Chain A
Amino acid sequence: AQTVTQSQPEMSVQEAETVTLSCTYDTSESDYYLFWYKQPPSRQMILVIRQEAYKQQNATENRFSVNFQKAAKSFSLKISDSQLGDAAMYFCAYRRRGGGSNYKLTFGKGTLLTVNP
């Protein structure tokens, strides 16, 4: 079974600084997707960034970027120029490629990010 591990229960960063959130996963599959979701105090899950395993290039979305190391099964999220609105719980998630029984997102336990003014 696939597992996702986030080893940092909490992180903090100063406004305008850079922070990196860690995620490792375990799978025997070669083709899959990885995600970072943000859950602000409103508790609605918001997709931050997505990485396809067959793509070597790291995904980037504005101030958010990932460091995807497939061999090491590592998928970290870097937030640059941190803003107060970035404060949230961040979840790393995994999904096998395809439909049917591959539907399921497997989530880590989350990292609570605090942004200090």
Chain B
Amino acid sequence: DGGITQSPKYLFRKEGQNVTLSCEQNLNHDAMYWYRQDPGQGLRLIYYSQIVNDFQKGDIAEGYSVSREKKESFPLTVTSAQKNPTAFYLCASSIDPYNTEAFFGQGTRLTVV
């Protein structure tokens, strides 16, 4: 089955540690996105990538980093510089940046302990 897989589903991090969230898609989509969701908030864009080896900052990129070395993969690293990392993180993809429909993964819940 085609889709977007995010792992792990739940992640715990100690303060001061970096942690990487995985996002893999087998839909052959060019564009991929990372969103953050906080309680009572909509989704906010962290980073996006239109094509392999290219990515751009979204609205709340500070404290995060990404890579796009393969078309299928767009991992997100939450660094120690992110002051409030506890949130729900959603990865999405679309056929290309021009295509309106975005498909979402099931998310990763990150908690700082």
Looking at the assembled complex, report how far the CB atom of A40 sits from the nearest CB atom of chain B, in whole angstroms.
11
A45 and B97 in contact (CB under 8 A), knowing A4-B42, A103-B48, A105-B102?
no
Looking at the assembled complex, report how far the CB atom of B42 sits from the nearest CB atom of chain A, in whole angstroms.
3
Of A9, A45, A103, the most chain B CB neighbours within 10 A belong to A103
Q: Assess whether A33 is interfacial by the CB under 8 Å rule.
A: yes
A109 and B41 in contact (CB under 8 A), knowing A44-B105, A103-B50?
yes
A103 and B97 in contact (CB under 8 A), knowing A44-B105, A45-B92, A45-B104?
yes
Closest B residue, CB atoms, query A105: B102
Of B41, B88, B90, B100, the most chain A CB neighbours within 10 A belong to B100
- Cα-based distance from A98 to B105 in the complex (angstroms): 23
Q: Assess whether A78 is interfacial by the CB under 8 Å rule.
A: no
Enumerate chain A interface residues (CB-CB to B < 8 A). Answer: 4, 9, 33, 35, 42-47, 50, 91, 93, 95, 98-100, 102-110
Enumerate chain B interface residues (CB-CB to A < 8 A). Answer: 31, 33, 40-45, 48, 50, 58-59, 88, 90, 92, 96-98, 100-102, 104-107
Q: Which 6 A-B pairs have the closest CB atoms?
A: A107-B42, A99-B97, A99-B98, A45-B104, A44-B106, A107-B43
